[in-house]
Structure 1
Amino acid sequence: MLGGGRCIFLFFEIGKPQTKAAQREERMLSLLLVGILTALVLLLFLSSRKRKNLPPGPVPWPLIGNLHQLDKSAPYKTLMELGEKYGEVFTIYFGPLPVVVLYGYETLKDALIGQAEDFSGRAILPVFERIAHKQGLVFSNGLHWKEQRKFTLATLRDFGMGKKNIEERVTEEAKFLVEFFQKKQEKPFNPAGRITAAVSNVICSIVFGDRFDTEDPTFQTLLRMVNENITFLGSRGFQAYNTYSYILRWLPGEHNKIFENARVLQAFLKGLIKDHIASRDPNCPRDFVDSFLNKIDEDANKPDTNFTMDSMTYTTFNLFIAGTETTASTIRWAVKFMMMYPEIQEKVHKEIDSVLGPGKCPSMEDRAQLPYTDAVLHEVQRFASIVPMGLPHAALHDISFRGYTIPKGTQVITFLHSSLYDKQYWEDSDHFNPNRFLDENGKFKKNDAHIPFGAGKRSCIGESLARMEIFIFFISLLQKFTLEIPAGESSSLELVNSGTRSTKPFNVCAIERV
């Protein structure tokens, strides 16, 4: 009773009008309490970091970590600055969670190749978990991922990835793209949509056995959704959702559109798979989907199989997106650079003319005879740094690396941009210079730090296909056209805020060569 009476008494005391002095005292007390709470949270962060023997890094703020420090439109720029300050491996915080960043080629090589198994885990961030449910080729771990990757690699090779028959499909799409450029009759146009459609049709022909009409509105809508989702990956909303998903999943926002896009894309893919089920001959698989259906039948009596209709949907979803955006973006970069550097474009024209002439279709067999063109494309990939931060890795167990401990569950950023711009391997790295890939005799020379596709067990599964597409599409266009900046338009290079480093939309004049 006395306790309850005391509480009632305090309630009425607080409710009484306060003097100005009392109000000031209350504000000071509130500020003091906030300060103490902030200090306690900060100490918790710092003691946790020390206890876990994490690499050094900037001091995080309570609740938000280091998110406020990241460049809103280009977070990789902030990571480059932090790498210069803290060195080869450092820690930042996304909200309350530590994230370890691997900086520079030597560090990436030691981790992804030297300790390949340790760093083979994928961080299944909340955005990715909600889209793929820890299934499929990209956003999974353990036995599921290993079996999906092994099967996908073998099947893509069976259907010609890196071989002559796939080259013929790429060449066919390149011809359609050239025809589209010709129809513009040397007038300004934005090439982005048609380049993306051409690249997407190559992976569609492998996975689904057929190409789409590039004018088909459904196909164009799907590609637009892919672009929207990729753009979201570079936004503050992406980091915010991954950090505070337990709140944001219930609130309106741009993230809901991304999840709806993914649902529509997956429903479309399920429709294509359903069509395959109705028309397939198990004894004569036509494409990747048919082969996956055969694998599902083969494992039908295995209670713990990783080959199901769901896993097929998510794997084809991964292939459709990965096989479209990054390669198309690289080709757009190449077109832009040829417009910006006409002297380089002229050298490419001369080399193509001397080796292929005006009519011979390019082939991967020609690459050795086109060292300057090959050097240009390698420099495009280096400079563009399409996926600067790579896809997030995760420590699936405690990892000892460079004298530090990366605790189980910690996200790891394999910072590819830091390798492609590593000053130890690239002189004057901020400038576009294809000659860095040529020796004193004009022959092509490799550079180990050139890893745009990543390295180790999680490297891009479609690297050979992407290299083929970039080479054949680029040469097909340069063989037929001189690419020029339309009169009155900017010649500068501007980037768009996206999950990949992409050029802002631009127009080109494709002048037919005679």
Structure 2
Amino acid sequence: MNAVMEQLAFWGSCFTFLSLAFGLMWLQSLKDLPPGPWGLPILGYLPWIDREKPQKTMMDLAKRYGKIFSLSMGSLFTVVLTDPQLIKEALSRDVFTDRANLYLTHGIMRGNGIIAAQGPKWREQRRFLTSFLKNAGMLKVGSKRDHMQNRILVGVSEACEMIKRSDGAPADPLKILIHTMGNVMNELLFGITYPEGDPQWEYLQELAVEGVKLIGVAGPLNFLPFLRFLPSFRRTTKYILEGQKATHEEYKAISQGQSPENQDNLLFMFKKEMASGRGEHFSEEQMCYLLADMFGAGLETSLTTLRWFLLFMAANPFIQEKVFEEIYANTKEKDTPELVDLPQMPYLEACIYETQRIRPVVPLGIPHGAREDAELGGYRIPQGSMILVPQFVLHMDPQVWVDPDRFDPARFFDSNTKKLVRDHSHFMPFQCGKRVCIGEEMARMMLFLFGAAILKKFSVSLPPETDLQVLLPGENGITWAPSHHLLVFSARKHPEIHKEATKAVSDPFPTRAFVDLMQSMGPL
């Protein structure tokens, strides 16, 4: 009996010693990691992340832990950066150009396309896309830029016609913009456009809208893939996979029916590269994923920002009138503003910036991944870590932006020179570094041309029953979009501008005198 007790005591001592040893080793492994909150086994910190407003959770953690912190999201170790200098340093380094191992990027996209691609595939495909987009007109100057402008203006014209048909009745801006902006992307990517009301096109639009709502950057399905077997998550996964399959089949059908003369589009150029055999990653599978990425990202960024822009214009009528005065003062003789007019419209540009600041399309950023162990900010970043750059935290920092929840375009003007500030350290609507948004220039073109044309031709207002408190929180998925809403578009009469109103355009800071002036002028 004593021998048994001695054996138990011996093994008990061994277990205690090993537990302490492993515990000390585990604590030792944590000491040089960025600080952060504790989490639960398997789940990590996921139970404490606000499902409706994950960006708010990151803001709260940033206040507590500072410019770099870490947390576990499921089993994925996550490093969050909220300091512009650290962000620029990290995103300019090759070691952080991979993608995090999420169910969305690795399980569904399987590393294909451009968003989920990494390593040699990403570098090859990015070079190809950069060359195509520059050739298509994503340039600051030149005749190719004019050609790209003309492509966009076709969509702008159709959007204004659709708005005109609403005849002042409440209209759904999403329905108008997704059709017209979507067709701009269709023409650029496939060399085709769909007629309004086409059933296949409406299905693709539905997939584009609903798909981004179903898997968010902070959604548990991304970090706990086994959830896809539960009934509610199974439906989500099924919808996404079926939509992906239908989209790819449509792209293949377009490819097979494409005329040899239809060469001014991404699909033709990809097939040409695929036939040449020069590239390592040019396949039909990659083609479908790449086209889907370019359509989804290219459309979603501009579409969502423009929806927010029009909503904020409707919610701030005095700011909207100031924008109109600026547009009209500089384009009196033109039916539609053009890119050449952009430098003369700093207040409109500031309103677009302010929209991107207060409602970043991807509030948590697009996650990066650490290819190998690295050092950043004095901390060890383990291989496989997810690197998160929450734009919301940068854009809404009250120590940087006065009253950040208020829509105020004047914050983008230097208070002394009154000149537009285009380069702000805490403003990164397209991220930065080696994986900066490849379609940034096109997004800027689309936002200006659509926004300026609509506000020149129409005043935008909210139906009387609209509750802004319900609309402004928006809906979070992969992107942060406005909740469904209607707007009233009233045709402008374009009077000659009062001299004092014209003078007020040069001052980016709204004054009581300007407000009183606009009221005295009555409806335009």
Normalised-by-shorter TM-score class? 0.7 to 0.9
1:83 equivalent in alignment to 2:48: no
Counterparts of 2:130 and 2:221, CA distance in 1: 32
Relative to structure 1, the CA distance from residue 49 to residue 291 in structure 2 (aligned partners, 3 Å threshold; closer, same or farther) is farther
SS in 1 for 2:170: coil
SS in 2 for 1:412: strand
Offset at residue 325 of structure 1 (A): 1.3
1:139 equivalent in alignment to 2:116: yes
Q: What amino acid is the match of 1:47?
A: W
Counterparts of 2:67 and 2:60, CA distance in 1: 12
Q: Deviations over 1:252-282 (max 9, x none)?
A: 3322211211111112112112223xx325x
> 2:194 is matched with which residue?
212
Q: Summarize the alignment of residues 3-42 of structure 1 with structure 2, pairs less than 5 Å apart.
A: none
Offset at residue 45 of structure 1 (A): 12
Relative to structure 1, the CA distance from residue 508 to residue 358 in structure 2 (aligned partners, 3 Å threshold; closer, same or farther) is farther
Q: What amino acid is the match of 1:255?
A: T
SS in 2 for 1:91: strand
Identity %: 29
> 1:239 is matched with which residue?
219
SS in 1 for 2:371: coil
> 2:519 is matched with which residue?
none
Counterparts of 1:192 and 1:450, CA distance in 2: 26
Offset at residue 52 of structure 1 (A): 7.3
Offset at residue 412 of structure 1 (A): 1.2
> 1:126 is matched with which residue?
103
Relative to structure 1, the CA distance from residue 270 to residue 245 in structure 2 (aligned partners, 3 Å threshold; closer, same or farther) is same
1:166 equivalent in alignment to 2:166: no
Determine which of 321, 328, 337 is the counterpart of 2:303.
328
SS in 1 for 2:168: coil
Q: Deviations over 1:90-132 (max 9, x none)?
A: 111112321111113233123223xx22221112412222332
1:394 equivalent in alignment to 2:372: no
Q: Deviations over 1:270-329 (max 9, x none)?
A: 2112223xx325xx83311111111111116x7xx1111211111111101111112101
Q: Is the 8 A contact 2:79 2:387 kept in 1?
A: yes
Q: Deviations over 1:138-170 (max 9, x none)?
A: 111111110000001101211222411111111
Q: Is the 8 A contact 2:215 2:222 kept in 1?
A: no
Q: What amino acid is the match of 1:209?
A: G
> 1:436 is matched with which residue?
411
Q: What amino acid is the match of 1:450?
A: F
> 1:6 is matched with which residue?
none
- For this pair of structures, how many residues does the alignment match? 464
Counterparts of 1:87 and 1:352, CA distance in 2: 42
Q: Is the 8 A contact 1:104 1:415 kept in 2?
A: no
Counterparts of 2:98 and 2:476, CA distance in 1: 27
> 1:413 is matched with which residue?
388
TM-score (structure 1 length as normaliser): 0.85
SS in 2 for 1:99: strand
SS in 2 for 1:179: helix
Determine which of 327, 340, 349 is the counterpart of 1:352.
327
Counterparts of 1:509 and 1:45, CA distance in 2: 65
Q: Deviations over 1:435-455 (max 9, x none)?
A: 011234443122232210110
Counterparts of 2:446 and 2:124, CA distance in 1: 27
Offset at residue 46 of structure 1 (A): 9.5
CA RMSD of aligned residues (A): 2.3
Counterparts of 1:320 and 1:310, CA distance in 2: 16
SS in 2 for 1:510: strand
SS in 1 for 2:39: coil
Relative to structure 1, the CA distance from residue 48 to residue 213 in structure 2 (aligned partners, 3 Å threshold; closer, same or farther) is farther
Counterparts of 2:135 and 2:229, CA distance in 1: 41
Offset at residue 504 of structure 1 (A): 0.8
Q: Deviations over 1:344-396 (max 9, x none)?
A: 00101111111012744212221111111111111111111110111111000
> 1:285 is matched with which residue?
263
Q: What amino acid is the match of 2:465?
A: G
Query: Where in structure 1 do 4 or more consecutive aligned residues deviate above 4 Å?
Result: 43-46
Offset at residue 213 of structure 1 (A): 1.6
SS in 1 for 2:26: helix
TM-score (structure 2 length as normaliser): 0.84
